[in-house]
């Protein structure tokens, strides 16, 4: 979330027992604290929902109305007096967080705000003790998923035929990790937008036409945009003095990342993803050229030329040589020549 602009918030209050209808836990008392908190932080309250219901589940009318109102009002935050107002079980907090953060809404508690911080893994203001509970729960779920997926590797290598070093390449996107060019392009768009994307779709042309909510509503990752800025800075540096430098476009701050997919059956595959411009991006691309070698050999030139042509309508004179090189290239011929050399 951008800390420099006023946040739009929806206030949510809940009581579960008769005892809470009196004293400091009443709906009125919660509402007063939240309004005071919002005023102190400069928040704009765009909605309020209160309910009298037990917190054993998220399947409550009041909670669902609060979430719906937060989305409809394009709120940045759903504000509660403390996290137990969401539910009693911390695991339900995680569920609520995931559902809302995916729609661009964060959860904030007004209780002891100085003891809360933004956690980049869970994207929620949480006290340290609760962070540990949720972290352990996530690790347990990861362990269970690994055991469930281990059958996949046992089927390939045998029950005792694989170990950590067999799957270590998965951590850098190789091995059994599969992604389509469209998925990679959508990843580039998500980074370009600092944390959200639109459902990819194919059109012949669009002019003054509303595509409907399915294609016009952003999908948020729930990760704070500040973390994307670090990735954007790295991708920009790659275009200036890294592996993407051959793709630097005159007058345009493009960002990119090369990829070289190792191929045990022949030459490596050349890959690239990028977007431009760095600020207010207008295009994201992914390029994958089989048997073409390093990412900088074909992926970067093709991707950067595509972005330049889209943004400016032409290729700069200083890059015409690169355009000609790509237009005249034939990796199939190169592959055949390599095969002939191997036979000799």
pLDDT surpasses 60 at 337: no
| Band of residue 106 on the pLDDT scale cut at 50, 70, 90 | confident
pLDDT surpasses 90 at 50: yes
Integer-rounded Cα Rg, in Å, for the chain is 26
**Mind listing the pLDDT tens digit for each residue in 293-334?**
889 999 999 999 999 999 999 999 999 999 999 999 887 755
Determine the pLDDT at residue 307: 97
pLDDT surpasses 70 at 141: no
Determine the pLDDT at residue 334: 52
Task: Decide if 270 contacts 292 (C-beta within 8 A).
Answer: yes
Determine the pLDDT at residue 133: 52
pLDDT surpasses 60 at 69: yes
Phi, psi of 62 (to 5 degrees): -65, -45
Six-digit token pair at 104? Answer: 């661009």
Determine the pLDDT at residue 339: 41
Q: Name which residue leads in pLDDT, 142 or 93.
A: 93
pLDDT surpasses 70 at 120: no
Average pLDDT in the 89-93 region?
74
Measuring CA to CA, which residue among 304, 280, 301 is closest to residue 192?
A: 280
Six-digit token pair at 186? Answer: 């959508």
| H or E element in which residue 185 lies | helix 181-192
pLDDT surpasses 80 at 151: no
Distance CA 48, CA 202 (A): 39
Q: CB within 8 A of 231, min separation 6: which ones?
A: 191
159: region left, alpha or beta (phi > 0 left; psi from -120 to 50 alpha): alpha
pLDDT surpasses 50 at 64: yes
Q: Which CATH architecture has domain 179-340?
A: 3-Layer(aba) Sandwich (3.40)
- Mean pLDDT of all residues belonging to the chain: 81
Average pLDDT in the 197-211 region?
84
Cα–Cα distances in angstroms (integers) from residue 148 to residues 151, 171, 179, in the given order: 6, 18, 21
Determine the pLDDT at residue 149: 65
Considering only 119-123, 270-274, 281-285, 297-301, which range has the smallest mean pLDDT?
A: 119-123
pTM to 2 decimals? Answer: 0.55
Determine the pLDDT at residue 61: 94
Cα–Cα distances in angstroms (integers) from residue 200 to residues 183, 187, 255, in the given order: 9, 11, 20
Q: Which residue has tokens 């345009």?
A: 252
Six-digit token pair at 47? Answer: 């909605």
Determine the pLDDT at residue 127: 47
Q: Which CATH superfamily is domain 8-126 in?
A: Resolvase, N-terminal catalytic domain (3.40.50.1390)
Average pLDDT in the 65-73 region?
94
């Amino acid at each position: 979330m951008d800390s420099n602009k006023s946040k739009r918030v929806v206030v949510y209050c809940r009581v579960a027992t008769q005892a809470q209808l009196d004293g400091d836990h009443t709906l009125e008392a919660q509402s007063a604290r939240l309004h005071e908190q919002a005023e102190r932080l400069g928040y704009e309250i765009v909605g309020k929902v209160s309910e009298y219901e037990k917190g054993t589940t998220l399947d409550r009318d009041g909670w669902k109305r609060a979430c719906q109102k937060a989305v409809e009002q394009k709120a940045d935050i759903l504000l509660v007096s403390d996290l137990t107002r969401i539910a009693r079980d911390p695991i339900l907090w995680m569920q609520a967080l995931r559902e809302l953060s995916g729609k661009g809404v964060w959860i904030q508690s007004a209780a002891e705000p100085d003891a809360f911080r933004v956690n980049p893994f869970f994207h929620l203001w949480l006290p340290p003790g609760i962070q540990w509970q949720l972290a352990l729960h996530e690790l347990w779920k990861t362990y269970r998923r690994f055991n469930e997926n281990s059958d996949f590797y046992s089927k390939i290598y045998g029950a005792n035929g694989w170990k950590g070093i067999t799957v270590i390449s998965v951590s850098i996107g190789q091995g059994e990790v599969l992604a389509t060019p469209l998925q990679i392009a959508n990843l580039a768009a998500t980074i370009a937008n600092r944390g959200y994307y639109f459902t990819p779709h194919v059109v012949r042309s669009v002019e003054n036409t509303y595509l409907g909510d399915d294609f016009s509503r952003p999908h948020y990752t729930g990760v704070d945009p500040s973390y994307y800025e670090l990735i954007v800075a790295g991708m920009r540096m790659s275009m200036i003095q890294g592996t993407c430098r051959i793709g630097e476009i005159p007058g345009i701050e493009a960002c990119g990342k090369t990829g070289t997919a190792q191929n045990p059956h022949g030459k490596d595959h050349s890959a690239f993803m990028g977007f431009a411009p760095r600020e207010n991006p207008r295009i994201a691309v992914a390029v994958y050229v089989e048997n073409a070698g390093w990412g900088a050999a074909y992926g970067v030139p093709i991707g950067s030329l595509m972005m330049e042509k889209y943004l400016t309508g032409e290729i700069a004179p200083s890059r015409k040589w690169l355009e000609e090189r790509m237009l005249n290239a034939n990796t199939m011929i190169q592959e055949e020549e390599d095969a002939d050399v191997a036979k000799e």
